[in-house]
Amino acid sequence: MKDNFQNEEWAMIYDLVYRGKRVEEHEYYRELVKGVPGAKVLEIACGTGWLSLDLLADRADIYGLDISAEMLKYLEQNAMERGLDITGRFSRQSMVDFQYPFKFDLILIPGRSFLHLATQDEQIRALKNIRTRLNPGGKLVLNFFRPSLEMLNNASSPNEQYQVMGKYFIGSRDEDVEVSFNHWYDIIPQVQYVKWKFDFLKSGRQVFRDMSLRWIYEQEFRLLLMLAGFGKFDVYGDYTSKPFDGTQGEMVWFTEG
């Protein structure tokens, strides 16, 4: 069983790691929501509030869910620091079987988070559940990377060589943590395995956490959407209005149930 982001270590550094990064993605979703004023919006895998809290500050009718209690704890802290009222808006749920007493006009899955679903069964169940939670004409928008042969060839077998990602200061612990990782790709099940190493430099504590992503090809996702009952969908390259042509690094999907 993979931890993915469901642990204290990732929750405490998540904002530090991604601060100032993924700006294009963040602004893409933010402008998307601004373009549908009054829409009821759900962010799946909202994490620490990287996107949701900005949408809430924009006065969007935003709700969020995440499977990680640790991430949601930091989201609450971030909201409190910003003076944002999140009462009743965020909950711990899975994208596979989440429930709300109302439906949404727009459901977002940013950050490639859909790839954390480990099996096709989970993927189809999640998509079917999402479709039933959309209002008529409602849309699901999500993104994930384009798999490439170059990517797969670079790390096609397990290894113990760690690459340092960065060093981050944890104010609540008055301590630096150095984060390293190694990763490899298993081509048959289409899974990228990542092992993260957290070295706490003051206490000497060392923690290992596992993560996995099941990558998806374009034609494969088209089939998954059809199996889940989505009748309309388009895919764009990167965060532009240009149709995906197989050369861009990111696929951004617009689907309508």
Query: What CATH architecture is 8-145+216-256?
Result: 3-Layer(aba) Sandwich (3.40)
CA–CA separation, 1 vs 158, rounded Å?
Answer: 17
> In what side-by-side order are the strands of the sheet with 163-170?
163-170, 175-186, 191-200, 206-214
Average confidence (pLDDT) over 1-19: 79
What type of residue sits at position 70?
Answer: E
Q: Is the pLDDT of residue 150 over 90?
A: no
Could you identify the residue written with the tokens 């999402």? 130
What type of residue sits at position 154?
Answer: N
Confidence (pTM): 0.94
Interacting residues of 126 by C-beta distance below 8 A, sequence separation 6+: 95, 96, 114, 117
CA atoms within 13 A of residue 67's CA, in its CB half-sphere? 14
Dihedral of CA 108/115/252/135: which sign? negative
Domains of the chain, residue spans: 8-145+216-256, 149-213
pLDDT digits (tens, 9 = 90+) for 34-57: 999 999 999 999 999 999 999 999
CA 193-53-57 angle, to 5 degrees, is 155
- What is the full DSSP assignment across 56-106? HHTT-EEEEEES-HHHHHHHHHHHHHHT---TTTEEE--TTT---SS-EEE
Q: Is the pLDDT of residue 1 over 50?
A: no
pLDDT digits (tens, 9 = 90+) for 122-149: 999 999 999 999 999 999 999 999 998 7
For position 156, what pLDDT does the model report?
A: 67
| Rounded (10°) angle between helices 8-18 and 69-82 | 50
Beta pairing partners, 141: 108, 254
Average confidence (pLDDT) over 65-84: 96
Q: Is the pLDDT of residue 187 over 90?
A: no
